[in-house]
Structure 1
Amino acid sequence: MSVAAKSDVSDLPREFDYLIVGGGAAGLSLAYHISREPRLASKRVLLLEPEAKNQNDRTWSFWADAPGVFDGIVAKEWQQIAFRSPTFERVIPLTRHRYKMIRGLDFYQFVQRALAGNPQFACVATTVTAISNTADGAVAYTPQGEFRAQYVFDSRPPELARLQQPERYRYLLQHFVGWEIETGQDAFNPETAEFMDFRGEQQQQARFMYVLPFDKRRALVEYTLFSAEVLPKAQYEAELGRYLHQLLNGQAYRITAEEVGAIPMTDHPLPAADGAHIINLGTRAGRAKPSTGYAFKRIQQHSARLTAALAATGHPPQNLTGDRWQFRLFDTLLLDIMQRQGEQTREIFTDLFRRNPVERIFDFLDERTSWIGNFQIMNSVRPWPFLRSIGHVLRGRPGRR
């Protein structure tokens, strides 16, 4: 078998050990983790993906305090971050962690090269119209016919528009427009990532700027919002223009690339599986953290968890994600505040960064803190917004402005 995408599948088997539906971050991550596991070397894997994945369509950023399998393609890492709001600013050196960025095209090409020489993998360029469980596996239906496997791993985006229950759950988006820019003179500190700059108008929402400097003259600058609806594109561009005019003191710049996105942020239950033989991946499995939108590292942890269990037992783990209930509650409370009074998000994050070491904040957002760490985090922020949201959770309905 070859991992090169095929549209003519007449010579391809119809039964595999694993089917991976979707060749984005989640699907390719699982495929790569499987390829590195010697105990799974005999497993036949088919990747079903309609797009070529040959464009730099996104970037992923994350913090990490341990080596990762994709460190070799990290485009840039930062040893300090900056947090800024009208009442508090701090540049924070990172001790245990580093903040890292990977470009989408680098990731796609890296995994595709790794799989290309592995005979256990094949790829078909096709859409998947449906997946169903069978008595001893699952079947994926495509325009090229049916493909069967013991397990199907489904990374298609969840159909939240169809599934929404706004009387019970909270539905927001983390949406953004980002420009990669280049200046004619030195303008950036390449050692510091501007993690959150909340100094702009909030307009009853959570809005901040995010700046990743690659060197003294090149940076990614994003305008990011947490709200229920995206804006007309011209509004993002106007805010980016105003911010850059002030940041660069009127210095000219050139836009070299653009990034546009909208990540669902919701406490709507996103199941880790659909039946015994269909395992969900990526945003379909809730791997984008509901309160922040960060997903890449959570996807890697999920892929490693699934791969380890498949290698050890032949089956996915009983607890597919390892998620802990208390962190789902914390996410719900913050989502409730964002939906009800999004502008309060700025003060909450200001409290967090003013009153906690950054390593504790990162551990909390990674869902690694103990009950003591959780208490320290919650005790550091103003209580009233969270108490109101606890009341909404207990009553079983989201807060409203």
Structure 2
Amino acid sequence: MPEAPKSMLAYDYLLVGGGAAGLSLAYHLAQEPRLANKRVLLIEPEAKNRNDRTWSFWADEPTPFDALAVGEWRKIVFRSPGFAQIFDLGRYRYRTIRGLDFYQFVQQALASLPTQFTVLRDEVLTLENTLGGVRVRTVAGQEFTASYAFDSRPPAIEPRPDTYRYLLQHFVGWEIETTRDVFDPEVVEFMDFRSAQQREARFMYVLPFGPRRALVEYTLFSARVLPKAEYETQLLDYLANNLELIAADYRITAEETGAIPMTDHPLPARVGARIINLGTRAGRAKPSTGYAFRRIQAQSARLAAALAATGQPPADLTGDRWQFRLFDTLLLDIMQRQGEMTRDIFRQLFERNPVARIFRFLDEKTSWTDNLRVMSSVAPGPFMRSIAHVLRGRPGQRKDSAG
């Protein structure tokens, strides 16, 4: 793709950020024949030439990136004290995609359309609405205009803990190879809550890529990240006591870490008339689970379809439904004031619902009837207390804390 020259240039669409959200929208624009005459500028400071993350998701229909999956599973298992069950996913498939594979796939697709897409290695300094468009200035001093801008930079949030809830989904994972068969390659350990909760939501997650290779990850929902040694202690304990592995039985081939913001703080879908937010900046990481990849794809498809049909973004930029925002807020409230109860809530969900209903609920595709079935399957007490907190406009706090 050609680099943009150092002069004021006009584009149809400006993409700020070339991570999952920016590249996803770029790919959907590239696949839409009715937008073939549109000129798109993507500004991203990093080369995106390393595997910096992975994305997992479930789907009951084909997606544009299925061929990139390094793993596909038809079964998951949920475990907690007193309950464990393997679930056949039916028409659903659980898949994992490596970041580098995704970056290279989309970059190659854009490179095949050099007259439509331009990529600039630079950082946006200012982005503003103008009369009938947007203007951007970069750190390197270049300026560009466009009809619309799509901004996927991480959001800058001024916390208001007296009104909203702020947690993190944080984790450390090791990809390991073992000297003997250990893993069932057909079953994902979706959530294993058997470890001590320590007043938070803590579980193990295992993606088996074969009998002797898997990603083993320790994940928490809480307000603060831990010292790295604490994650490693839990991983070592799981390998030793659950998988019966000693140090000589395996080697660590890769490591991944992360901390995904989980909040009900409002994240606007747009800024003014012409700047549209994407990805986590637009709240695409689901507040109660941290899953984002499929939500990003849904927003990208929605935007591309509307631009092709009408020349402008849709009036409803995300298609989010208010009741699911409320459900997320209620669960965040429980996690914040008594995180260890999360284990029981998920156990009740998996024990009392078909897995397809759970996935539809998490995908925000369930009907009111199914929503009532899901909510009636869990103990009402914690949610009633959180409803009271929502009504009074103050987040819940731990029982031994003020508030």
Using structure 2 for the length normalisation, give the TM-score: 0.97
Match of 1:190 in 2: 185
Pairwise CA distance, 1:397: 0.5
Pairwise CA distance, 1:246: 1.6
- The amino acid of 1:279's aligned partner reads I
Tell me which of 36, 42, 60 is aligned to 1:47: 42
Q: Distance in 2 between matches of 1:139 and 1:169?
A: 32
- The amino acid of 2:328's aligned partner reads D
Q: Is residue 263 of structure 2 the alignment partner of residue 273 of structure 1? A: no
Q: Is residue 300 of structure 2 the alignment partner of residue 296 of structure 1? A: no
Q: Secondary structure at the match of 1:169?
A: coil
Q: Is residue 155 of structure 2 the alignment partner of residue 151 of structure 1? A: no
Q: Is residue 387 of structure 2 the alignment partner of residue 394 of structure 1? A: no
Which runs of structure 2 are paired with 1:164-203 in the superposition (5 Å)? 164-203=159-198
User: Closer, same or farther in 2 for the Cα pair 1:64/1:12, shift >3 Å?
Assistant: farther
Tell me which of 100, 119, 137 is aligned to 2:133: 137
Give yes or no for contact 2:8–2:145 (8 Å, CA) kept in 1: no
Match of 1:213 in 2: 208
For structure 1, the residue ranges without an aligned partner over 5 or more in a row are none
Cα-to-partner distance string for 1:58-84 (whole Å, 9 max, x where unaligned): 000000000001111111110100000
Match of 2:117 in 1: 121
Q: Is residue 109 of structure 2 the alignment partner of residue 109 of structure 1? A: no
Q: Distance in 2 between matches of 1:57 and 1:247?
A: 28
Question: Would you say how many aligned residue pairs link Structure 1 and Structure 2?
Answer: 394
Pairwise CA distance, 1:248: 2.5
Cα-to-partner distance string for 1:125-178 (whole Å, 9 max, x where unaligned): 011122110011011120232111000000000012xx1111000000000001
Q: Distance in 1 between matches of 2:6 and 2:116?
A: 15
Match of 2:60 in 1: 65
Give yes or no for contact 2:334–2:396 (8 Å, CA) kept in 1: yes
Tell me which of 330, 334, 356 is aligned to 1:359: 356
Tell me which of 255, 260, 276 is aligned to 2:252: 255
- The amino acid of 1:352's aligned partner reads L
Identity of aligned residues (%): 68
Q: Secondary structure at the match of 1:153?
A: strand
- The amino acid of 1:340's aligned partner reads R
Give yes or no for contact 2:200–2:338 (8 Å, CA) kept in 1: yes
- The amino acid of 2:338's aligned partner reads Q
Match of 1:348 in 2: 345
Q: Secondary structure at the match of 1:214?
A: strand
Tell me which of 229, 232, 238 is aligned to 2:227: 232
Tell me which of 58, 61, 79 is aligned to 2:74: 79
Cα-to-partner distance string for 1:338-392 (whole Å, 9 max, x where unaligned): 0000000000000000000000000000000000000000000000000000000
- The amino acid of 1:254's aligned partner reads R
Match of 1:380 in 2: 377
Q: Distance in 1 between matches of 2:156 and 2:225?
A: 18
Pairwise CA distance, 1:10: 3.0
Q: Distance in 2 between matches of 1:250 and 1:330?
A: 40
- The amino acid of 1:170's aligned partner reads R
Which runs of structure 2 are paired with 1:316-331 in the superposition (5 Å)? 316-331=313-328
- The amino acid of 1:217's aligned partner reads R
Match of 1:33 in 2: 28
Match of 2:334 in 1: 337
- The amino acid of 1:96's aligned partner reads R
Q: Distance in 2 between matches of 1:143 and 1:84?
A: 49
Q: Distance in 2 between matches of 1:297 and 1:332?
A: 20
Q: Distance in 2 between matches of 1:64 and 1:204?
A: 32
- The amino acid of 2:18's aligned partner reads G
Q: Distance in 1 between matches of 2:230 and 2:6?
A: 51
Give yes or no for contact 2:71–2:97 (8 Å, CA) kept in 1: yes
Q: Distance in 2 between matches of 1:136 and 1:222?
A: 48
Q: Distance in 2 between matches of 1:204 and 1:382?
A: 18
- Mean Cα displacement is larger for which, 249-258 or 358-367? 249-258
Match of 2:401 in 1: none
Q: Secondary structure at the match of 1:389?
A: helix
- The amino acid of 1:287's aligned partner reads R
Using structure 1 for the length normalisation, give the TM-score: 0.97
Q: Is residue 245 of structure 2 the alignment partner of residue 243 of structure 1? A: no
Q: Distance in 1 between matches of 2:213 and 2:83?
A: 26
Give yes or no for contact 2:278–2:284 (8 Å, CA) kept in 1: yes
Give yes or no for contact 2:70–2:98 (8 Å, CA) kept in 1: yes
CA RMSD of aligned residues (A): 0.9
